[in-house]
Amino acid sequence: MTGLMIVETTLPGGWSDSEVLVWIKSASGRASCVHRSKVRSTYAWDGEICDDDEWFVRMKVSPTRLDELVRNITEHHPYDVPMILTHSIAASNGYVEWAESSTIDE
């Protein structure tokens, strides 16, 4: 087992699936694989408790492309303070080899 990175963020729930796909291609193109799903988020913002639909986006990326991916997400993100979480994970050697040689923007 060797390592990969997972990067997670959320996007506005009012976006259509095609809008999310456009964002993924522009902001997350350096990722090897992106999962997206609708979620319900409860959070504090400006002194209020908010409860909103959002898109949850999970990206798998080679550690060598992590900084570029986070920079792209930050530059293209519609939120003032985007959630950008990163996790180091172990993955099978074959999957890591695939992830290191594949990106969505190719």
Which has the closest alpha carbon to 31: 1, 76, 63, 75?
A: 63
CA–CA separation, 27 vs 50, rounded Å?
Answer: 26
CATH number of 2-101: 3.30.70.120
What are 27-36's pLDDT values in tens digits? Answer: 877 888 999 9
**Boundaries of every domain in the chain:** 2-101
pTM: predicted TM-score of the whole model, two decimal places: 0.91
pLDDT averaged over every residue in the chain:
92
CA–CA separation, 96 vs 82, rounded Å?
Answer: 27
CA–CA separation, 79 vs 67, rounded Å?
Answer: 19
**Which DSSP symbol is given to 79?**
S
